[in-house]
Structure 1
Amino acid sequence: MGSLLKGVPGVRWGDLRGAQAPARDIPALLSRIAYGGEEVARLAVDDLGDCVCALGFVVGEATAPTVPFLLELAEAPQVPCTPELLELLEKIYRTRTWHSSAAAAGGPRRKNFQEQPGWEVAARAAVLAGRHRIEGLAGSVQPEVAEAARGLLRAIDEDPGLPEV
């Protein structure tokens, strides 16, 4: 994977479920973002979004393990799509679909909602763990990067937390 993404092979992607697409595709998508040209990277961010935050509001089991790599890529100067990565992180942070669905269905012990609320908690925690990195990007000299990072920080600061299930 090169100097970026050294930890990617350490994740058992084949054992994880994506939000909509297979999690086993995530390493290749991350690599395309890191080492592809601008158009390839932007397309890979879209495809990765389908894997880790389908429709912009449904996370999967593989979302939390992917977040540190999204943050790593967002900080890499050669990656051409940092604003898009930060926007994806904001979508991941804002998601509460599984919590809301589990609460409406009677709680997480219901057959269809045993693991999913935990995926949201883990994904949000992974984004929060990278706050210092996001704060650094908020000071970028590239206005589109700084704006996207500040938007993510606002989402974190204004968040009321996940609903009880």
Structure 2
Amino acid sequence: MGVLLKGVSGIRWGELCDARRDRAGGIPALLSRIAYADEETARLAVDDLGDLICELGFVVGEATAPAVPFLLELAGAPHTSCKADVLALLQRICRTDQWHSAAVAARNDGYEANYQEQPGWEAAARAAVHAGRPVIERLAASPHPEEAAPARELLLLMDEVPPFPKP
């Protein structure tokens, strides 16, 4: 994968499910495109990756939390061409509450067994975004408004959304 994304090959992506409940084996290639492709290709890769790890902008999967540190690495890398897009994806991941809300509703309706794993995926993904706060703070202090503004928005969101969904 190059200097960036060295740890990507250490994740068993093919054993994880993405947000669509398919195998997540395509995630490393998309991360690589974000890191090394031209700006247009990188932006398309962010969109495609968003479909896999934060489907519809609010549904995460098992592979979301393992992908977040790589998104943070890309956001903090000096040559990433689409930092605003990466930060917007991180915002969507941080904001997700779909599985937790569904589990609460299912508990009230007697279907709690249908939501054993998913709220944990959501909590882990949100916690992973929060763990990247130092990277996001550095970006928020950037002299480049195209990366500083979305980073500040993400920091504000992180301040109002706890790392774990409320029980």
* Partner residue in 2 for 1:127: 129
Contact in 2 for aligned 1:59/1:120 (Cα 8 Å):
yes
Shift of 1:109: 7.3
Q: Which sections of structure 1, spanning at least 5 residues, go unmatched?
A: none
Matched, 1:17 2:20: no
After TM superposition, list the pairs within 5 Å mapping 1:46-65 onto structure 2.
46-65=47-66
* Partner residue in 2 for 1:45: 46
**Alignment length, in residue pairs?**
164
* Partner residue in 2 for 1:29: 30
Letter in 2 for 1:63: T
Q: Which sections of structure 2, spanning at least 5 residues, go unmatched?
A: none
Contact in 2 for aligned 1:16/1:62 (Cα 8 Å):
yes
Secondary structure at the counterpart of residue 103 of structure 1: helix
Q: State percent identity of aligned pairs.
A: 63
Contact in 1 for aligned 2:18/2:52 (Cα 8 Å):
yes
Shift of 1:163: 3.3
Secondary structure at the counterpart of residue 34 of structure 1: helix
Letter in 1 for 2:18: G
- TM-score when normalising by structure 2: 0.94
RMSD: 1.5
Secondary structure at the counterpart of residue 40 of structure 1: helix
**In 2: Cα distance, 1:24 partner to 1:59 partner:** 16
After TM superposition, list the pairs within 5 Å mapping 1:6-155 onto structure 2.
6-20=6-20, 22-106=23-107, 110-155=112-157
